[in-house]
Amino acid sequence: MNGSLDTAPDLDLAFEADDTLAAELLAAAGELADPLAGAELWHTQISAWLAQLHPELSPHLQAPAYSLGLSLVGDAEIAELNSDWRDKSGPTDVLAFAAQDDGLEDAPAIPMPEGDEEALELGDIVISLDTAARQAPEHGHTLSKELLFLATHGLLHLLGWDHPDDTSLAAMLARQDQLLATAEQR
């Protein structure tokens, strides 16, 4: 499949917010951290971002349907993931575990739910709600906007974007701003 999509692609989104997160953080995140309303909001938003990004994706990432996971966790859990997967100590704001990374060609196929044979598994985005809440004021964002910002960053990583230098980071941040501009119009 090539070119742009007339409508948002189908999306199988697995969303969860750790129920052990501080109640005040969950309240500050509002519907974006709510298990029911959040799942619907994230589904709508990520589908729109995928439709917007679709024309610029490499052919192997252009699909009529996608599957990905999004989790809101605390600093302890993301610090453990950061240590296990990146050999870095301490918490970080967002981690992206891309299923379509180079070098995974020989990995076993990811089982898909029945009826989703055409869905392309992108991977998982994990956001620390604790870190997002701390850095939102530093970035001049509300917690909701910071979560959207971090989700765009993770999604771009799942789609192959990276930022090994300042130029590529600037390009990635500019693309995130474009995606966030569409989020703010909703």
Query: Any idea where the domains of the chain sit in the sequence?
Result: 10-184
Q: Is the dihedral of CA 111, 122, 55, 144 positive or negative?
A: positive
Instruction: Average the pLDDT over 152-174 and give the result.
Output: 93
pLDDT one-digit tens code per residue, 84-126:
999 999 999 999 999 986 544 444 344 444 454 579 999 999 9
**What amino acid is encoded at 88 in this protein?**
K
Residues 6+ apart with CB under 8 A from 178: 52
CB 129 within 8 A of CB 72: yes
pLDDT one-digit tens code per residue, 131-153:
999 999 999 999 999 999 999 99
Domain covering 10-184 assigned CATH 3.40.390.30 in the classification: yes
Banded pLDDT at 183 (limits 50, 70, 90): confident
Residues 6+ apart with CB under 8 A from 114: none
Place of tokens 């989700």: 151
